[in-house]
Amino acid sequence: MTGPHTDLRVLGDDLERAARRDLASRRGTRRRRIAMGAVAAAVLVSGGAFAASRLVDEHTVAVSLPAGTAALLGSTATCTELRPGVEYRCTVDRPPDASVEHIDDWTGTVEPTLDAASRVNGGCRSENAAGTAWRCYVGREAVRQGIVGQDFLGQPAGPGRG
């Protein structure tokens, strides 16, 4: 299998071997060791950012919205990426179930989103009274938007209720 993950792994392995050779020889200068450390850190940071941005996509958010909202269980969401890995505009195929939540106007209502392991990965805010249009945020951006608390991210949860 080839791809970004494999390429990063090969690059990381090459860097590790080079660093070992350098440390074993003890002939490397301090500047060269610092440069190698900086390169390794850059690879790890960029690789981590790439991996995080690929872990969440339109489909993932579309599944996580109904999973995190009791009144939307069984509905199907469609999401459009606004900011990669961070912000999405979503619509659901039906309004929230009134027998679950008795809300006349869903505008501004916030709900958590749940990943495949039923852990809070972000949250959404309804953009219309019917509760069919949502703006969703992933991770810390959901905290910044006041949808979920920092301590709630990553926690196991069931579908939210208003």
pLDDT at 73: 95
Q: How do the domains of the chain map onto residue ranges?
A: 4-55, 58-152
pLDDT at 9: 61
pLDDT reported for residue 46: 39
**58/85 Cα distance (integer angstroms):** 9
Q: What is the pLDDT of residue 158?
A: 87
Question: And the tokens for 53?
Answer: 């941005």
Mean pLDDT by groups of 10 residues along the chain of 162 residues: 53 65 58 53 42 68 95 97 97 95 94 96 97 97 96 91 66
What pLDDT is attached to residue 45? 42
Q: What is the pLDDT of residue 56?
A: 79
Residues paired with 79 in a beta bridge: 90
Nearest-10 Cα torsion for 24, 25, 26, 30: -100
Report d(CA 81, CA 79) in Å as an integer: 7
pLDDT for res 86: 96
Q: What is the pLDDT of residue 53?
A: 40
Bridge-partner residues for 136, per DSSP?
A: 88, 124
Please report the pLDDT score of residue 29 as a whole number: 55
What is the edge-to-edge ordering of all strands in the sheet holding 110-114?
77-83, 87-92, 133-138, 120-126, 110-114
CA–CA distance, 17 with 7 (Å, rounded to integer): 15
CB neighbourhood size of 108 (10 A): 10
